[in-house]
Protein backbone atom coordinates (compact mmCIF):
# COMPACT_ATOMS: atom_id res chain seq x y z
CA UNK A 1 0.00 0.00 0.00
CA UNK A 2 1.36 3.45 -0.91
CA UNK A 3 2.01 5.94 1.86
CA UNK A 4 -0.86 8.06 0.58
CA UNK A 5 -3.29 5.15 0.64
CA UNK A 6 -2.00 4.16 4.05
CA UNK A 7 -2.46 7.72 5.32
CA UNK A 8 -6.00 7.90 3.97
CA UNK A 9 -6.85 4.53 5.49
CA UNK A 10 -5.27 5.11 8.87
CA UNK A 11 -5.64 8.81 9.53
CA UNK A 12 -8.67 10.17 7.69
CA UNK A 13 -11.29 8.00 9.46
CA UNK A 14 -10.58 10.04 12.61
CA UNK A 15 -11.54 13.31 10.95
CA UNK A 16 -14.97 13.65 12.56
CA UNK A 17 -13.66 12.83 16.05
CA UNK A 18 -10.90 15.40 15.66
CA UNK A 19 -13.31 18.04 14.39
CA UNK A 20 -15.87 17.63 17.15
CA UNK A 21 -13.11 17.74 19.77
CA UNK A 22 -11.57 20.79 18.13
CA UNK A 23 -14.95 22.55 18.04
CA UNK A 24 -15.43 21.95 21.77
CA UNK A 25 -11.88 22.94 22.67
CA UNK A 26 -11.71 26.05 20.52
CA UNK A 27 -15.39 27.01 20.76
CA UNK A 28 -15.56 27.94 17.10
CA UNK A 29 -16.24 25.82 14.02
CA UNK A 30 -14.07 27.82 11.62
CA UNK A 31 -11.09 27.80 13.97
CA UNK A 32 -11.69 24.10 14.60
CA UNK A 33 -11.61 23.32 10.87
CA UNK A 34 -8.36 25.26 10.51
CA UNK A 35 -6.89 23.32 13.41
CA UNK A 36 -7.95 19.97 11.94
CA UNK A 37 -6.52 20.86 8.52
CA UNK A 38 -3.26 21.90 10.13
CA UNK A 39 -3.28 18.66 12.13
CA UNK A 40 -3.51 16.56 8.97
CA UNK A 41 -0.84 18.60 7.22
CA UNK A 42 1.53 18.06 10.15
CA UNK A 43 0.54 14.42 10.38
CA UNK A 44 1.38 13.84 6.73
CA UNK A 45 4.73 15.55 7.15
CA UNK A 46 5.73 13.10 9.86
CA UNK A 47 3.75 10.12 8.60
CA UNK A 48 6.92 8.36 7.46
CA UNK A 49 7.88 8.07 11.14
CA UNK A 50 4.47 6.71 12.11
CA UNK A 51 4.53 3.03 13.05
CA UNK A 52 1.66 1.03 11.51
CA UNK A 53 -0.62 -0.68 14.02
CA UNK A 54 0.21 1.86 16.73
CA UNK A 55 -2.50 4.18 18.01
CA UNK A 56 -3.02 6.57 15.11
CA UNK A 57 -6.04 8.12 16.81
CA UNK A 58 -4.05 9.11 19.91
CA UNK A 59 -1.20 10.37 17.73
CA UNK A 60 -3.59 12.64 15.80
CA UNK A 61 -5.20 13.94 18.99
CA UNK A 62 -1.77 14.82 20.34
CA UNK A 63 -1.03 16.86 17.21
CA UNK A 64 -4.46 18.50 17.34
CA UNK A 65 -4.08 19.59 20.96
CA UNK A 66 -0.67 21.07 20.18
CA UNK A 67 -2.09 22.95 17.21
CA UNK A 68 -4.96 24.35 19.28
CA UNK A 69 -2.65 25.31 22.13
CA UNK A 70 -0.30 27.02 19.75
CA UNK A 71 -3.15 28.85 18.08
CA UNK A 72 -4.39 29.99 21.45
CA UNK A 73 -0.91 31.14 22.38
CA UNK A 74 -0.84 28.96 25.41
CA UNK A 75 2.22 27.40 26.89
CA UNK A 76 2.41 23.65 26.63
CA UNK A 77 3.24 23.28 30.28
CA UNK A 78 0.13 23.07 32.39
CA UNK A 79 0.80 24.62 35.81
CA UNK A 80 -2.53 23.42 37.13
CA UNK A 81 -1.53 19.81 36.56
CA UNK A 82 1.71 20.30 38.44
CA UNK A 83 -0.11 21.97 41.31
CA UNK A 84 -2.61 19.13 41.60
CA UNK A 85 0.17 16.59 41.94
CA UNK A 86 1.59 18.24 45.00
CA UNK A 87 -0.19 16.78 48.01
CA UNK A 88 0.19 19.92 50.08
CA UNK A 89 -1.26 22.22 47.45
CA UNK A 90 -4.72 23.41 48.45
CA UNK A 91 -7.08 21.87 45.93
CA UNK A 92 -9.16 24.91 45.19
CA UNK A 93 -9.97 24.46 41.55
CA UNK A 94 -13.02 25.96 39.97
CA UNK A 95 -14.64 23.34 37.78
CA UNK A 96 -17.38 25.64 36.56
CA UNK A 97 -15.78 29.05 36.05
CA UNK A 98 -18.86 30.25 34.18
CA UNK A 99 -21.45 28.80 36.52
CA UNK A 100 -23.42 32.05 36.52
CA UNK A 101 -23.51 32.24 32.77
CA UNK A 102 -26.49 30.01 32.31
CA UNK A 103 -28.35 27.03 33.63
CA UNK A 104 -28.85 23.93 31.61
CA UNK A 105 -30.06 20.37 31.75
CA UNK A 106 -28.22 19.62 28.52
CA UNK A 107 -25.26 17.40 29.25
CA UNK A 108 -23.04 18.89 26.53
CA UNK A 109 -23.82 22.43 27.64
CA UNK A 110 -22.81 21.44 31.14
CA UNK A 111 -19.57 19.96 29.82
CA UNK A 112 -18.88 23.16 27.91
CA UNK A 113 -19.19 25.09 31.15
CA UNK A 114 -16.45 23.03 32.79
CA UNK A 115 -13.01 24.54 33.14
CA UNK A 116 -11.03 23.49 30.03
CA UNK A 117 -8.63 21.34 32.06
CA UNK A 118 -11.51 19.13 33.20
CA UNK A 119 -13.57 19.35 30.03
CA UNK A 120 -10.71 18.14 27.84
CA UNK A 121 -10.04 15.07 29.97
CA UNK A 122 -13.73 14.18 30.03
CA UNK A 123 -14.09 14.55 26.27
CA UNK A 124 -10.99 12.55 25.41
CA UNK A 125 -11.70 9.66 27.76
CA UNK A 126 -15.48 9.34 27.74
CA UNK A 127 -16.49 10.67 24.32
CA UNK A 128 -13.42 9.73 22.28
CA UNK A 129 -12.45 6.60 24.18
CA UNK A 130 -8.77 7.38 24.71
CA UNK A 131 -7.00 5.48 27.46
CA UNK A 132 -5.73 7.34 30.52
CA UNK A 133 -2.19 6.87 29.27
CA UNK A 134 -2.96 8.31 25.83
CA UNK A 135 -4.94 11.15 27.37
CA UNK A 136 -2.05 12.00 29.68
CA UNK A 137 0.33 12.00 26.71
CA UNK A 138 -2.05 14.04 24.57
CA UNK A 139 -2.60 16.73 27.19
CA UNK A 140 0.95 16.61 28.54
CA UNK A 141 -0.17 15.92 32.08
CA UNK A 142 0.54 13.06 34.52
CA UNK A 143 -1.78 10.05 34.57
CA UNK A 144 -2.73 10.77 38.17
CA UNK A 145 -4.01 14.13 37.06
CA UNK A 146 -6.14 12.48 34.38
CA UNK A 147 -7.70 10.23 37.02
CA UNK A 148 -8.40 12.99 39.51
CA UNK A 149 -9.83 15.38 36.93
CA UNK A 150 -12.03 12.69 35.49
CA UNK A 151 -13.35 11.66 38.88
CA UNK A 152 -14.18 15.23 39.82
CA UNK A 153 -15.60 16.22 36.46
CA UNK A 154 -17.96 13.22 36.40
CA UNK A 155 -19.09 13.82 39.95
CA UNK A 156 -19.71 17.53 39.53
CA UNK A 157 -21.57 17.31 36.25
CA UNK A 158 -23.82 14.60 37.63
CA UNK A 159 -24.58 16.79 40.62
CA UNK A 160 -25.10 19.77 38.36
CA UNK A 161 -27.59 17.90 36.21
CA UNK A 162 -29.52 16.19 39.00
CA UNK A 163 -30.16 19.27 41.18
CA UNK A 164 -32.16 21.61 38.94
CA UNK A 165 -34.20 23.15 41.69
CA UNK A 166 -31.19 24.56 43.57
CA UNK A 167 -29.96 27.96 42.42
CA UNK A 168 -26.56 27.34 40.84
CA UNK A 169 -25.02 30.46 42.31
CA UNK A 170 -25.69 29.13 45.80
CA UNK A 171 -24.26 25.70 45.08
CA UNK A 172 -21.01 27.05 43.65
CA UNK A 173 -20.11 23.74 42.03
CA UNK A 174 -16.52 22.71 42.00
CA UNK A 175 -15.28 25.20 44.55
CA UNK A 176 -12.91 24.10 47.26
CA UNK A 177 -12.74 20.49 46.18
Partner 1 sequence: MECKDIRKLLSPFVDNELTAHEAFMVAEHLEGCAPCHREMEEIRRFDEQLKTAGRQPLSGIEDLRDGILWRLSPWFAVRRWRGAGAAAAALLFLVIGRQLFSAPSDPEATAFSDALIAETRLQQSQPFSLSWLEPQSVQDLLKQEGLEAVPNLAPAGFHLEGARVCYPLSHPFVQLVYRNRSEEVMLFVSRRWTRSLSGTIKREGFTIVPLGVRAVFLVTKDTLVNFTDTRELAEEEIGALTS
Give residues in contact with partner 1 (CB under 8 A): 2-4, 8, 12, 15-16, 19-20, 23, 33, 36-38, 40-41, 44-45, 106-108, 111, 122-123, 125-127, 131-132, 147, 150-151, 154, 157-158
Q: Which is nearer to partner 1, 94 or 112 (CB)?
A: 112
Minimum distance from residue 125 beta carbon to partner 1 (Å)? 6
SS3 string, 114-153, reads CCHHHHHHHHHHHHCCCCHHHHHHHHCCCHHHHHHHHHHH
Q: CA-CA distances (angstroms) from residue 14 to 56, 104, 130? A: 9, 30, 13
Nearest distance, CB of residue 43 and partner 1, angstroms: 10
Nearer to partner 1, 81 or 125 (CB): 125
Helix 15-26 vs helix 29-45: angle between axes, to the nearest 10 degrees? Answer: 130
For partner 1, the closer CB: 111 or 139: 111
Amino acid sequence: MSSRASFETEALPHLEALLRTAVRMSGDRARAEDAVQETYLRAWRSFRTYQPDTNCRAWLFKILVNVIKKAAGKKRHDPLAAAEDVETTPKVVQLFPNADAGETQDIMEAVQQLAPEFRDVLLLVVVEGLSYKDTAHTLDIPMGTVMSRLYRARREIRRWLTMPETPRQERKPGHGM
